Structure 1
Amino acid sequence: MQPLPGADLPHTHPRAVHWVATAAAMAGVIALAALIQPPSVAAGNDGKGAHAGRPAPGPDPDSATYPLDCAGTEPEVYKHGSADFDADGRAETVAVVRCRSAAGTPPSGMYVLSSTKPGVSPHVTATLVDPAEGMSVGEFAVRENEISATLLGYSSPDVPRSKPDKQRKVTWKWDDGRFGLTAEPVPGTQV
């Protein structure tokens, strides 16, 4: 049997270097394809609207001014989360804030922050928990159009401020341009 014409040429015999070069070229093509995507895919837009992708990050809660009188100390943000409640492509930030204290647990305020432009200080657009109510915020979570928290309180002025003896789970849902509050029954009560 005679070899096919050109079968004895050096470039027709695969060597390891040929396989390595082919693999490297394929890896380069795959990496380039991952970087270059149509604009709707790169923005996370699945065709459900202009803001269907991930929203811009929420405002920085540490740069806001809160309606909280801390008698000479600065308020501290000790919990926060963000979500785009109004679906405008810019996330709002929910901040749980309290005055700094050396002892006990000062009451919490829970505020929703918005910012109209990057670089502009955010402003409070909603107060969900007013510190004047004397409650603290325990567990806290922010999801899509919902904020959930466990509010901690005191049955009397005699209860130490470091040991709340009342609690209630609450949820705020964004609906029709405002937050609606739903509270679960107080533990130990019958519905």
Structure 2
Amino acid sequence: MRYVKWGFWAVLFAIVATFLHYNLPRHDIVRIVGTEVRRVDFGENSIFWATPDVGTASATSRDVRFINTVRPNSKTLVFRNEDTGWGWPPYFKLDSSDLQAQAESLISTQADPIWVSVTRYGWRSRWLSIFPNAVGLKVVPSPDTRIIPWANIIILTLLVVILLTIRAMWRQFRERSIDPLLEDAGEAWDDAEEGAKGFFDRFFGRK
């Protein structure tokens, strides 16, 4: 039974960690090399794409903005640039057109690079054809610039505080309500067992 309990908590932890890893903001320092708009037909991977721009109609096929970048180690990284609107995740991004124009103004060459910190959420998977969604751009002085993830620190701290509060409330509720009921049930069971034993002793004539 103990293995089942630990297995349940391990699965729950993995689900929560995966959820947070996908939705929490992260930062990539890159050099923007181009932008483009491509027509995308959505299939099984549609859950990894955001909604259409606010005010436009939903469809299974639409134009999506992309930002092409290169990391300091020369590896490429492509971002999609989609509104999140008022849905999930709650970035309330409504300015993908402005962000695309900003990205185009920051295009640079290897000889004269402009390093940009891209705030994004999501994953890049060539197998699933999914891309992280860029939600912000900021010019940084060098590719070695250290970005402190204040948003993640605050969100994770609040989650820990909430979990500890729920745990403390549950322990108090259990001590005040559940444990006394279990004790009463145990005593009632013992009394019933003693009564049944006395009945059988009398019925079978045991002394």
TM-score bracket relative to the smaller structure: under 0.3
Q: TM-score, normalised by structure 2?
A: 0.25
Higher relative contact order structure (alpha carbons within 8 Å, sequence separation ≥ 6): 2
Which structure dedicates a bigger proportion of its chain to helix?
2
Which structure dedicates a bigger proportion of its chain to strand?
1
